[in-house]
Amino acid sequence: MTALAASKPGPAEAALHEVIAVVPLLRQDWYEKAARRLNSLTKPLGSLGRLEEVAARIVAIREQLRPDCSKKVIFTLAADHGVTEEGVSAYPKAVTRQMVLNFLSGGAAINVLCRHFGIDVAVVDIGVEGDTSELPGLLRKKVAHGTKNMACGPAMSAAEMYGALQVGIELASDAAEGGRALIGTGEMGIGNTTAASAITSILTGRPPAAVTGRGTGLDDAGLKRKAEVIERAIAVNHPNPSDPLQVLQTVGGLEIAGLTGLILGGAARRIPMVIDGFISTAAAALAFALQPRVRHFLFAAHRSSEPGHETLLQFIGQAPLLDLNMRLGEGTGAALCMALIESAIKLLNEMATFSSAGVSEAIG
């Protein structure tokens, strides 16, 4: 139990601890089965490089020698942040809701990529300020109308944090019931790079200035102010690095909490989790801190240009598949990476073997 736990856990807290407990270990024999299949294909041993590593890990996660990754979904969770009151973003808070509208109308980068790769996009209001009940196509899972200003106190109440975690767990469960074989993480929330930078600083022990970037495009003065706001939030809240739930409650965001629950829930259901950029990786780091076995289910999509992202990737022990100098969020990097993962699985499943093709194997 963490310091936040009450004497008798509520349903959302109990569900979280249940999911944490059931995240499985991957079995070595499934890696060996995958290796035998890969080594039998008409190519020099190991010549597909990291695509072979990806395919083998998918086999071990799914415990299927010929897994199918065609049913894919990216959950883009949207929420507002009270810390925007401190001038930490180049854009106003209203942009969160405006971008949700853009997602729903199909005009954002994530929509373009997902249409191209055959990925479904689920846009989730977990904490957008204001009423969104009139927006068709939106998954309304609102826990609160944004977080409070973490520079003045905790960003969320314990009930809000557990509620957001539960939303993510339920999304993963729904995805599993719908036969989804890959889940990608995405987010939208003005101010959320401030929350992610604070989480990074606390979990890794790096100073805020070293892990804080320009986000949506801050100038030098804005970047300095952003780091100072994070320092103040840490001083006000005294988060304990060994208590990831306290870190999440005090300096996190509702969408980050939702993604943390989504990652834990997906791992518990043996679904590979494709992690997007900096904010998504902050959620993955929290999930990893709660249950280290989660790391085996994570595929880091890309290396963001945000300075704290590399620190988080090292923290969770992940090497990204792409390095494109991206920092958009939304799930865009995850969409690109899911295409690579599906390609790896198609190679595993559809290439001929030396035997079936009548091709001679290597001598000796």
Among residues 129, 187, 330, 342, the one annotated as catalytic is 330
Cα–Cα dist 307/314, whole Å: 12
Query: 330 catalytic, yes or no?
Result: yes
The dihedral sign for the CA sequence 336, 337, 343, 346: negative
d(CA 168, CA 256): 10
Rounded to whole angstroms, the Cα distance separating 356 from 111 reads 40
Neighbours of 267 (CB within 10 A): 28
Q: What is the DSSP string of 259-297?
A: HHHHHHHHHHTT--EEE-SHHHHHHHHHHHHH-GGGGGG
DSSP-assigned letter for residue 87: -
Two tokens, residue 213? 């970037």
Q: Is 3 within 8 Å of 240 (Cβ atoms)? A: yes
Say whether 177 sits in a helix, a strand or coil.
helix
| The one-letter amino acid at 342 | E
- Give the number of other CB atoms < 10 A from CB of residue 166: 24
- Catalytic residue set: 330
